[in-house]
Chains A and B, each alone.
Chain A
Amino acid sequence: MKVLVANRGEIAIRIMRTCREMGFPTVAVYSEADRTAPHARAADEAIPIGEPKSYLDIPTIIAAAKRSGAQAVHPGYGFLSENAAFARAVEAAGLIFIGPRPETIEKAGDKLEARRIAREAGLPVLSGSDESVPCDLPVGYAESIQYPVLVKAAAGGGGRGIRLARSPEELEMMIAAARLEACQAFDDDTVYLEPLVPEARHLEVQILGDGQGNVIYLGERECSIQRRRQKLIEESPAAELPESTRQQLFDAALRLGCALNYRSLGTIEFLLDAAGQVHFIEINPRIQVEHPVTEMITGLDLVREQLTLAAGSKLRLRQEDITWRGAAIECRVLAEDVENDFMPASGAVTYVKEPGGPFVRVDSALYIGMPIGTAYDSLLAKVIVWGEDRPAAIARAIRALREFQIGGVPTDLTFLIKLLESPAFVSGTFNTTYLDSFRPVLNLGPDVELQAATAIALFVHNQREQSLPHKNGHVKPWRDAAWREQMRGMQ
């Protein structure tokens, strides 16, 4: 089965790696902005698709698949991965879409519809309007709502198209703002209201189904470490989670998966409120950024399962075949200026040294010279570690991140290390509001800045000395000394 990967960056490379292991030829697509990107070279062949936003262009991607003779298309995450029209177009072209059926993507994509199905399947769904917010608010509408309330785009996802309203006065403005973002991002301005769950934890369950009546769960993931509703650290299993709650999450995810006769890989997202109650929020009908933590503790390659199921096979695993071992943590390394409110950076990567060692996995598309711009998101790499238990995994994650060196652009590396070291993270007593107030001193040691200042001054000094004409052709004394110093180490 020849597979076209309709994506870029680390996820494209990650999918191609499994294809290669399974003996499937791969096809990459790349935009003008990605001419030098490594995902294009990770495939057996690569097809240029034009301007940066071409990864969203359905006819272009289908044409590339036809031209290359691919039999299947993997959408990755983001871009066209949750676009039912794309899944239909792939199937209409006689190709296999590696993901759920188009109808499932459609149901998951309409949040109001997903809520209805979840409620019918017996899942706990947050109260709130099951109807979309009318275009013109009736008199008394804003006053009839419980505050604070979230205004959410029905077609939204990935934390986008969400606004918080604290009072009737704010509601109208926030509805307008959410509509505008939803219209721009998803071409659909339908919004609905959902009560804000204060101090909630964000938990999700990975499911796998074959569309032939068989659905299993692969465990939960804790995704509460977020800033601007974007996940930063994910782990599995979730810390400090009562076993009864965990089972409740699994049962709920399974019920919804069965109700949808789910095919392929999917994620059911939940909120866990401060009182320990579980609430369904949405379905993600695709592979997720944080899927490796599940791979680490189950020992399964989730892309391999997707590829096997896409060929029409039945689920090869039964629920009792799934076992979980130890703990896994994923940290997202981003090109963002933490000290400047996580502002995305721009520039070029000038130095890279990735971590290694036992049970450390780095999924990245990093290379020296990699341009960092605004065309795509700011994810540079994911560092995923496994440990026998959570403390071991935390220690390993810190160790691995301390080895990671990236030059040329600011990153969140020191922030991630401070986060992993923070008492609330270590004790597992945090929720989605944790990063609102977490402001660590971004310094990895009292002497580091002094050492850097000294090294930088010596560096500038040496460069200047070297650029001066040598007197009588003699080697400069400092170079001589440095040479002797180096030779001493050699002996």
Chain B
Amino acid sequence: MNYTVTIGSNRYQVKINNNRVTVNGVPVNSRLIQLNANGLYLLRHEDRDVEVHLQEQSTGAVEAIIGAQRIVARVESPQRREPRKKDTPQLGTVQAPMPGLVLSVNVTEGDCVEQGQVLAVIESMKMQMQMRAPVSGRVARVAARNGMQVEKGGLLVQIE
């Protein structure tokens, strides 16, 4: 399951698959333990335990309080968005999840790629994000070029 967590102008791509969690493509050892029914949780993050209060806001955003810091995020997931969206992107379409700069493109048209292979790296708000192949297949089109600015949702690579 993929989630896009937007905090201010920063975006985090969180992928949760059973107990495996990756953030922006980097595996993290994280799990959430409920401490009470009033929103108190323990985030077991790498080798640390962090107390966090989590609550959905009336706006639909989710608030996390860690120490004195209050962080409010919007959360989107393709699964949640899909029914509303008319032009559902094809399975092999790799789009920029946020506006940013293309740091590198690792494939050319005609290449055969495996699912999970890094196709390109983009950077936004000093955060690098590896764009991986959602499916195995052949690269039909490479729209991204090194040093190029991309908009949110801009096409990077098309796999068929």
Option from A353, A401, A455 in Cβ contact (under 8 Å) with B43: A455
Minimum Cβ distance to chain A for residue B72 (Å):
8
Chain B, residue nearest A417 (CB) = B68
Minimum Cβ distance to chain A for residue B35 (Å):
8
Question: Which residue, of A406, A443, A462, has the highest number of chain B Cβ atoms within 10 A?
Answer: A462
Flag if A454 contacts B69 (CB, 8 Å).
Answer: no
Place the interface of chain B in its size category: 35 or more
**Chain A 448-486: CB-based contact to B (< 8 A → 1; otherwise 0):** 111111111111111010000000000001100110011
Flag if A443 contacts B55 (CB, 8 Å).
Answer: no
Minimum Cβ distance to chain B for residue A21 (Å):
31
Binds A, one of B14-22, B133-141, B149-157: B14-22
* Majority secondary structure of chain A interface residues (helix, strand, loop or mixed): helix
Minimum Cβ distance to chain B for residue A368 (Å):
9
Complex: how many Å from CA A38 to CA B75?
35
Flag if A455 contacts B52 (CB, 8 Å).
Answer: yes
Minimum Cβ distance to chain A for residue B3 (Å):
4
What are 18 A-B pairs at a CB distance below 8 A?
A347-B58, A353-B53, A405-B67, A407-B53, A407-B70, A414-B69, A448-B66, A448-B69, A450-B23, A455-B50, A457-B3, A457-B5, A458-B14, A458-B16, A459-B32, A477-B18, A482-B31, A485-B33
Flag if A402 contacts B68 (CB, 8 Å).
Answer: yes
Minimum Cβ distance to chain A for residue B109 (Å):
34
Is B10 in the interface zone, CB < 8 Å from A?
Answer: yes
**Chain B 73-90: CB-based contact to A (< 8 A → 1; otherwise 0):** 101010000000000000
Flag if A458 contacts B31 (CB, 8 Å).
Answer: yes
Flag if A448 contacts B67 (CB, 8 Å).
Answer: yes
Flag if A481 contacts B41 (CB, 8 Å).
Answer: no
Flag if A456 contacts B1 (CB, 8 Å).
Answer: no
**Chain A 208-247: CB-based contact to B (< 8 A → 1; otherwise 0):** 0000000000000000000000000000000000000000
Q: B43 to chain A: which residues have CB within 8 Å?
A: 451, 454-455, 458
Complex: how many Å from CA A447 to CA B67?
12
Is B39 in the interface zone, CB < 8 Å from A?
Answer: yes
Minimum Cβ distance to chain B for residue A332 (Å):
14
Chain A, residue nearest B5 (CB) = A453
Minimum Cβ distance to chain B for residue A458 (Å):
4
Complex: how many Å from CA A262 to CA B3?
65
Q: B73 to chain A: which residues have CB within 8 Å?
A: 452-453, 456
Flag if B65 contacts A405 (CB, 8 Å).
Answer: yes
Is A301 in the interface zone, CB < 8 Å from B?
Answer: no
Q: B19 to chain A: which residues have CB within 8 Å?
A: 478, 481
